[in-house]
Structure 1
Amino acid sequence: MLTTLKRIVQEVTSAKDLTSALNVIVERVRDAMDVQVCSIFLFDDKSRRYVLMATEGLNKQEVGQVSLGSNEGIIALVGKREEPINLEDAPNHPSFHYVSSLGEEPFNAFLAAPIIHQKRLLGVITAQRPERRRFDEGEEAFLVTISAQLASVIAHAEASGQDINGVLSGISQRDVRFEGVAGATGVAIGTAVLVMSPADLQEIPARRTDDIPGEKLRLQQALEQVKNDIRRAGEKLASELRPEEQALFDVYLNMLDDQALGAEVQSVIDGGEWAEGALAQVINGYSQHFSDMEDAYLRERATDIRDLGRRVLSYLRAEDAGPRTLPDNAIIIGEDLTPAILGEVDEAHLAGIISIQGSSNSHIAILARAMGIPTVMGMVDLPYREIEGQQLVVDGYRGHVYVNLSDERLRHFQEIVLEEKAFEAELETQKDLPCTTLDGTDISLMVNTGLLTDVYRSLDRGAEGVGLYRTEVSFMMQERFPSEAEQTVIYRQQLEAFAPRPVTMRTLDIGGDKALPYFPIEEENPFLGWRGIRVTLDHPEIFLVQIRAMIRASEGLDNLRIMLPMITSVSELDEALHLVYRALFELQEENVPVTMPEIGMMIEVPATVYQTRAYASRVDFLSVGSNDLTQYLLAVDRNNPRVAGLYSSFHPAVLTALKYIVDVAAEEGTPVSICGEMAGDPAGAVVLVGLGYDTLSMNSASLLRVKSMLREIDMTWARDLAAEVLTLEDPLVIKSTVELALKDAGVSLAGVTFNRDRWS
């Protein structure tokens, strides 16, 4: 059955249109299940009827002619229940509806499964036999699997605007929406342009060579050509990016250096492998290593590695497409878009970006945020190959892409684009103003960083410090654990850039499937495994060196704060604190003039929520990692587009936990901050300050929007709003309540947000 299913999927994928795909399915399913009849009924939203659209075994002349009402027949019952129905004697079932023209009198056994895509009923697929016996479990599972595949086929047909001869209005419906992951905020309207990768490393075979010097020369020439391309791409974007942001292109160049990937490929060639095979071997190995990591930011580096490899391969094969000219207001779409690809297109005509793979941590998303280009990542369900040339809308706020727009919807998004341009101009006037509410309450806005490129943009937008600095990034740039001296230099750069503002450095957060290449970890369940503080406590030699480097780097600056990740028990915290004090005493004994920095911990797993008091009494500050805490509480991976809709920081369980933490911390007199996407969402920020949080940390792109919102509210009003939403039970109702309250209060950003949600 599995082999048969794969073959059917392949045939359906290559079908020229939906009608052909439906005919392939009914024919192949009938043969695979050894049944006499297989039929597909699609649900017409407009007429509210099920229309026969394909059949093998019934009267084909009735295709497109026979239809059943939404309460008529077993087909309608399957649609109502949204679950399979398996009958041994269908004609005697109470819901059976006889249609004489179909010719189904000889058939008794009946199996049907609903066709559902993203909670929307699209139709029903059926199988019938003459015998009076139920279909077995394997047959039922097979038909359900086919129905799931069929749902994607129909959704793709809708997106590409197919009209099945006008029979089904539902197939040619307007304003089709696909959901992904928000990459860079903003709304863009433009024309879809497909950007294909230059070469496929997976297709390169292993091949021996006797001409090792010749293969190494070919490789060296290809590497130099790619380096030149990357330099040109960086220069082309120079007017759009700060010098610090252009450092992302230096990362690419360093990867290709003779001391990095280039050296490894040459080493494989020395073993007798031809250049293409050696390149594929090294790139695929690194790509898999990064892809297996748990940390979303580091996992996205696999895309960068693959892109570099494909570019080198294209030159080895003498394939160079060169820069591409875009139409006005182009929205580029690709499977794995990267900064280098962005540098090859004409950015003057670029309106938006859609990446089929990747997440908000991809380098393309990072640069898009810096350039202000609305971007959506992880659009796995978008039929991107079929929609080139069509008009699209990219909603970078919620990670939505709209196709086949109606005039009304198009006008709505055009209004949003105009409102945004006016609002962005207004925001720039507030970057030097304090974040103070109408009644005089000061809110501290800080940034989350992992790249040095974030520093100057953060300061330019009024950041009051760093709420989270991810130290593991520097460990990933090495082929071994960095020494104390090397770490000290890296940390000193961050501390000096923000001095005298505080910089909160999180200790090494690795483990599970976020292992370093020189420190591999393999586990059955890495998400709940050996990670974070668990790893560094088991290896105090790693932990002590990092703490010493942090404290040494703060000499004379005294703006360091150290934060401990993934704490789940008081004993872990006590042990970590003991090691921090030990590192300090060692440095002081070495006559290094340093003082004890503030020590805090992250609350990011549910277990720590209920021991907040115990932790608050032991540390100088607490920091809530809202992204991870929300994921753990709701059991939802927010970077997985298939379940991202279930992830909500406005979930009652999340808000209740956040309120409990801030209240207990206040009772203990311990400062508490919060970092994550909720803090960077203006509506979320209002709820947070209403709950009692007065320090918010976010990505730099969100700073001015959050500041603008908080400067227009009163704290008493915010507290009342937070108290109200804590009584509500549904995250969608909570979010709508907040945004409606903002709109009624006349807050400037609320109008844009509220109007956009009319279509969500």
Structure 2
Amino acid sequence: MLHVLRRIVLEVGAASNLAEALEIIVRRVKQELTIDVCSVYLREPEANGQRLLLMASEGLNPDSVGTVVMNTGEGLVGLVAERAEPVNLENAPDHPRFKYFPETGEERYHAFLGVPIIHNRRLLGVLVAQQRERRRFDDEHVAFLITLAAQLAGAISHAELIGEVGKRREEIQQDNLQIAGIPGAAGVAVGQGVVAYALADLESVPDRDAESVENEETAFREAVKEVQDELIEIKDRMEDVLPMEERLLFDAYVMMLGSDSLVNGTVDRIRGGSWAPAALRDTVRESTRNFEDMDDPYLRERASDVRDIGRRILMRLQSHVREPEEFPEHTILLGEDVTATQLAEVPPDRLAAVVSSRGTGSSHVAILARAMGIPAVMGVADLPVGRLEGRQIVVDGYRGNLYIQPTAELLEEFKHLQDEEKELAEGLRDLAQEPAITQDGVEVPVYANSGLLADIAPSIQSGADGIGLYRTEVPFMIRERFPGEDEQTQIYREILKSFNPRPVTLRTLDVGGDKALPYFPVTEDNPFLGWRGIRITLDHPEIFLTQLRAMLRASQGLSNLHILFPMISSLGELKGAMQLLQRARDELLDEHYVIPVPKVGVMVEVPSAVYLSEALARRVDFLSVGTNDLVQYLLAVDRNNPRVADLYNGLHPAVLHALDQTAQGAHRAGKTISVCGEMAADPASVILLLGMEIDALSVNVAALARVKWVIRSFSRERCRELLRQCVRMEEPAAIRALLDNALVQAGLGGLVRAGKA
């Protein structure tokens, strides 16, 4: 059964539209379970999900497909939908909920098994099996249908998003089609979709119209010829390595490349108006599906050969890389899993927003988007990426929504919102240069988070009081090897000099988890609980000492270096890091460098550091809370997993208690504490951080002026009062509502939307 399930799921995944996918499901289930009828009913979006429509059937009257409609509480299918659990009946007509639909001809069937199709807690439809004879379906049949329904729910939801669920089988282009995701970076944008896709990955190729059918066909035929020549060359090269029988495989590949199904099928699709990569993608899908349907195991395996050939041709087609001027003026970059590199390929003046199927508001691409001041929506799990190339899109980074094919009315509404944002940003520009002083006279430094030398000038111009977090791993990640001591010294020196005498906090190398170095791979089953941060650098003192020496050398003649150790979870780790820091300084002193003693801090990111906050603070100069990871670990929520993203909440009562406890521990030890995670940029959270008497905040440059506005609009005493109310509350939503109301009362209503991102 497991093998059959995999085969069906693969076939459905390769279907070109929803109707084809559903027909595959009903045909294969009827065949594999040896039953008389298999049907799929889906909820109708047009009826707000209150009605079920028969969308596909193998066994019922074909004329009933697309016409039989029932309410979700009507009949046995409605009973399955209502209960959201399987219904298994020996004789369906005997059940009080049985309802006869003459057009289906189902009075001949007695045995009934219906299972719900559920995706992300939402009922999409019902999968039904029926038999003429009276019988209860056995446990194996029930388990098979439940498993299949769960596997197919995502594919059906995906098809629903592109407007294919409805009474018409053809694709429906809906106006204002709303797709929900996770807020990644605040703001709104209107622009044109551009799909970022992995090279040589057929499945990620987007739909796109051919600009010139003749040019696309020529490019495809040239790519085929180049792959043929390549395979012949490989075969000749293998003459002394492989026997003749094995080398015949390459002849088979060359024959495939000359086959009518592959070449002519692709050319026909190109002449139908598709660009060559998408035409090739669809042809390869069709060919592989034909092979996978074959009973002979040897022939079924040929499907992988077709995919390999398809990837080789695609690589040749992709030799042309999109030039900067080819990006539209307002590019909405979309992808299955948008990377920082793909983001960087778009000229900043043309990038309007970013949308990713994977990731959450705490993903590094979302953090980068916030630093760039562009809206982002993450975790749009069912985003039909391939269909959005060139489509007009509205991105609402506040609520985490996309709107495809917006109407003129909706565009007008969002453009008005854009104007309001621009007006607010301009109004805050002068405020950013002023110190952030509460209404009762407490100055709270607001620093900038950074990771690139290119961020230095914007950070200085923004009015930042210094750099509260410089992510030193970024220069490591953009190289093909570990940077040497001199290279690192030059980078750190430039940052320190630019801000002197304002403080600059350099965090030591923090890789692992979701931050990988291409030349230092760390492969683990559970990377967030694995070898990362200080654990790696303590295990590799040769890397750590080089970096510490570079930091210290860069500080000669300056007095603004602060060094921050990430992912400290025990006093032993801190002791090891301090010993290596002292060793690096002693070595440099022996080499006659004049090195001032830097201030040293610990990053509080794991629960154990919360409970050790006072003990850690006694041994260093300051604590800095990284709320992104701390929230993740406290709530056991992977911040990059969209399935649990709604559980990731910085205003969770447990998080607030942990932060308050950490602040108290630092102050009992007589040391300062700052917050450098994304909570420091959330206006509502800033109120509570002020109430906890956090000494400084560090945020991305785009949020700096708004954070200063919050600080200048409240007194410390008012923030303490709000904190006292919040820590007695049990629900994050109630805490958010209370703080949003406080912002509105303080005249900061324009920041309430930003807080929701």
Q: TM-score, normalised by structure 1?
A: 0.75
Match status 1:51 vs 2:53: yes
Tell me which residue corresponds to 1:437: 438
* 8 Å Cα contact 1:472/1:510 also seen in 2: yes
Decide whether aligned partners of structure 1 residues 321 and 349 sit closer, same or farther in structure 2, where only a CA change above 3 A counts. closer
How many Å apart are 1:624 and its aligned residue?
A: 0.9
Decide whether aligned partners of structure 1 residues 134 and 731 sit closer, same or farther in structure 2, where only a CA change above 3 A counts. farther
The one-letter code sitting in structure 1 at the alignment partner of 2:27 is: E
Tell me which residue corresponds to 1:651: 652
Tell me which residue corresponds to 2:23: 23
Q: Secondary structure at the match of 1:418?
A: helix
Structure 2 residue corresponding to 1:123, chosen from 122, 125, 141: 125
Decide whether aligned partners of structure 1 residues 17 and 698 sit closer, same or farther in structure 2, where only a CA change above 3 A counts. same
* 8 Å Cα contact 2:195/2:335 also seen in 1: yes
How many Å apart are 1:457 and its aligned residue?
A: 1.0
Tell me which residue corresponds to 1:76: 78
* 8 Å Cα contact 2:706/2:751 also seen in 1: no
* 8 Å Cα contact 1:325/1:345 also seen in 2: no
Tell me which residue corresponds to 1:38: 38
Partners of 1:475 and 1:323 lie apart in 2 by 25
Decide whether aligned partners of structure 1 residues 478 and 173 sit closer, same or farther in structure 2, where only a CA change above 3 A counts. closer
Instruction: Name stretches of at least 5 consecutive residues in structure 1 with no aligned partner.
Output: 213-309
The one-letter code sitting in structure 2 at the alignment partner of 1:544 is: L
Partners of 2:424 and 2:548 lie apart in 1 by 43
Tell me which residue corresponds to 2:145: 143
Paired residues for 1:1-16 under 5 Å:
1=1, 4-9=4-9, 11-13=11-13, 15=15
* 8 Å Cα contact 1:324/1:344 also seen in 2: no
Q: Secondary structure at the match of 2:424?
A: helix
How many Å apart are 1:672 and its aligned residue?
A: 0.9
Tell me which residue corresponds to 1:570: 571
Q: Secondary structure at the match of 2:713?
A: coil
Match status 1:636 vs 2:637: yes
Partners of 2:347 and 2:594 lie apart in 1 by 53
Tell me which residue corresponds to 1:719: 720
Q: Which moved more, 1:467-476 or 1:594-603?
A: 467-476
Q: Which moved more, 1:503-512 or 1:203-212?
A: 203-212
Partners of 1:609 and 1:318 lie apart in 2 by 52
Tell me which residue corresponds to 2:681: 680
- Superimposed CA distance per residue, residues 504-546 of structure 1 (whole angstroms, 9 cap, x where no aligned partner): 1222224578565555545443332233222333344443343
Paired residues for 1:318-717 under 5 Å:
319=320, 331-334=332-335, 351-356=352-357, 372-377=373-378, 379-388=380-389, 390-403=391-404, 412-476=413-477, 481-511=482-512, 516=517, 519-717=520-718
* 8 Å Cα contact 1:178/1:382 also seen in 2: no
- Superimposed CA distance per residue, residues 209-229 of structure 1 (whole angstroms, 9 cap, x where no aligned partner): 7999xxxxxxxxxxxxxxxxx
- Superimposed CA distance per residue, residues 380-439 of structure 1 (whole angstroms, 9 cap, x where no aligned partner): 421133345654320234543233657876565344222112112212222211112233
- Superimposed CA distance per residue, residues 595-654 of structure 1 (whole angstroms, 9 cap, x where no aligned partner): 322221111111221222222222211111100011112222222333323221122221
- Superimposed CA distance per residue, residues 454-474 of structure 1 (whole angstroms, 9 cap, x where no aligned partner): 111111111112222222333
The one-letter code sitting in structure 1 at the alignment partner of 2:403 is: Y
Partners of 1:64 and 1:211 lie apart in 2 by 56
Q: Which moved more, 1:53-62 or 1:400-409?
A: 400-409
- Superimposed CA distance per residue, residues 692-735 of structure 1 (whole angstroms, 9 cap, x where no aligned partner): 22311122222122222332233333222222222222223322
How many Å apart are 1:33 and its aligned residue?
A: 2.8
The one-letter code sitting in structure 2 at the alignment partner of 1:26 is: V
Structure 2 residue corresponding to 1:155, chosen from 142, 157, 170: 157
Decide whether aligned partners of structure 1 residues 110 and 481 sit closer, same or farther in structure 2, where only a CA change above 3 A counts. same
Partners of 2:636 and 2:659 lie apart in 1 by 17
The one-letter code sitting in structure 2 at the alignment partner of 1:36 is: D
* 8 Å Cα contact 1:90/1:108 also seen in 2: yes
- The size of the alignment, in residue pairs, is 657
How many Å apart are 1:486 and its aligned residue?
A: 3.8
How many Å apart are 1:7 and its aligned residue?
A: 4.7
Q: Secondary structure at the match of 1:696?
A: strand
Partners of 2:513 and 2:739 lie apart in 1 by 38
Decide whether aligned partners of structure 1 residues 315 and 435 sit closer, same or farther in structure 2, where only a CA change above 3 A counts. farther
The one-letter code sitting in structure 1 at the alignment partner of 2:80 is: V
Q: TM-score, normalised by structure 2?
A: 0.75
Q: Which moved more, 1:625-634 or 1:42-51?
A: 42-51
The one-letter code sitting in structure 2 at the alignment partner of 1:673 is: S
Partners of 1:420 and 1:659 lie apart in 2 by 33
Partners of 1:402 and 1:495 lie apart in 2 by 44
* 8 Å Cα contact 1:162/1:172 also seen in 2: no
The one-letter code sitting in structure 1 at the alignment partner of 2:26 is: V
* 8 Å Cα contact 2:588/2:595 also seen in 1: yes
* 8 Å Cα contact 2:538/2:577 also seen in 1: yes
Q: Secondary structure at the match of 2:167?
A: coil
Paired residues for 1:303-314 under 5 Å:
none
Tell me which residue corresponds to 2:112: 110
Partners of 1:317 and 1:17 lie apart in 2 by 26
The one-letter code sitting in structure 2 at the alignment partner of 1:31 is: Q
Partners of 1:351 and 1:62 lie apart in 2 by 47
The one-letter code sitting in structure 1 at the alignment partner of 2:35 is: V
Tell me which residue corresponds to 1:176: 178
The one-letter code sitting in structure 1 at the alignment partner of 2:673 is: V
Partners of 1:524 and 1:356 lie apart in 2 by 22
* 8 Å Cα contact 1:175/1:406 also seen in 2: no
Q: Secondary structure at the match of 1:123?
A: strand
Partners of 1:539 and 1:46 lie apart in 2 by 58
Decide whether aligned partners of structure 1 residues 732 and 585 sit closer, same or farther in structure 2, where only a CA change above 3 A counts. same
Partners of 1:412 and 1:727 lie apart in 2 by 39
Q: Which moved more, 1:564-573 or 1:480-489?
A: 480-489
* 8 Å Cα contact 2:90/2:110 also seen in 1: yes
Partners of 1:577 and 1:321 lie apart in 2 by 48
Q: Which moved more, 1:422-431 or 1:368-377?
A: 368-377
Partners of 2:491 and 2:561 lie apart in 1 by 13
- Superimposed CA distance per residue, residues 200-249 of structure 1 (whole angstroms, 9 cap, x where no aligned partner): 5999888857999xxxxxxxxxxxxxxxxxxxxxxxxxxxxxxxxxxxxx
Paired residues for 1:256-295 under 5 Å:
none
How many Å apart are 1:589 and its aligned residue?
A: 4.2
Q: Which moved more, 1:469-478 or 1:488-497?
A: 469-478
Decide whether aligned partners of structure 1 residues 315 and 713 sit closer, same or farther in structure 2, where only a CA change above 3 A counts. farther
The one-letter code sitting in structure 1 at the alignment partner of 2:30 is: R
The one-letter code sitting in structure 2 at the alignment partner of 1:58 is: L
Q: Which moved more, 1:413-422 or 1:451-460?
A: 413-422
The one-letter code sitting in structure 2 at the alignment partner of 1:734 is: I
Q: Secondary structure at the match of 1:42?
A: strand
The one-letter code sitting in structure 2 at the alignment partner of 1:71 is: G
Partners of 1:586 and 1:653 lie apart in 2 by 44
